[in-house]
Chains A and B, each alone.
Chain A
Amino acid sequence: SYELTQPPSVSVSPGQTARITCSGDALSKQYAYWYQQKPGQAPVLVIYKDSERPSGIPERFSGSSSGTTVTLTISGVQAEDEADYYCQSADSSGTSVVFGGGTKLTVL
Chain B
Amino acid sequence: QLQLQESGPGLVKPPETLSLTCTVSGGSISSRNYYWGWIRQPPGKGLEWIGSIYYSGNTYYNPSLKSRVTISVDTSKNQFSLKLSSVTAADTAVYYCARLTTVIPHFDYWGQGTLVTVSS
Contacts and interface: CB of A to CB of B under 8 A. Distances in A.
Interface of A: 1, 31, 33, 35, 37, 42-45, 48-49, 84, 86, 88, 90, 94-102
Given A86-B47, A95-B52, A99-B47, A49 B104 contact: yes
B106 A88 contact: yes
A95 B47 contact: no
Contacts of B35: 95
Chain A CB within 10 Å, residue with most, of B52, B105, B113: B105
Contacts of A31: 104
Contact of A43 (B37, B104, B110): B110
Interface residues of B, number: 25
A97 B104 contact: no
Q: Is the interface of A mostly helix, strand, loop or mixed?
A: strand
B43 to A, nearest CB: 12
Given A94-B102, A95-B35, A96-B60, A45 B108 contact: yes
Contact of B105 (A35, A42, A43, A97): A97
B116 to A, nearest CB: 15
Contact of B103 (A33, A35, A44, A94): A94
A102 B52 contact: no
B48 A99 contact: yes
A88 B39 CA distance: 12
B46 A86 contact: yes
Given A43-B107, A43-B110, A94-B104, 11 more contacts: A35-B47, A42-B111, A43-B47, A49-B104, A88-B47, A94-B105, A95-B60, A97-B105, A99-B39, A99-B47, A102-B47
Nearest to A97: B49
Taking each of B49, B63, B96, which has the highest tally of chain A beta carbons within 10 Å of its own beta carbon? Answer: B49
B25 interface: no
Interface string B73-110: 00000000000000000000000100010111111101
A99 B46 contact: yes
A42 B60 contact: no
Contacts of B47: 35, 37, 43, 86, 88, 99, 102
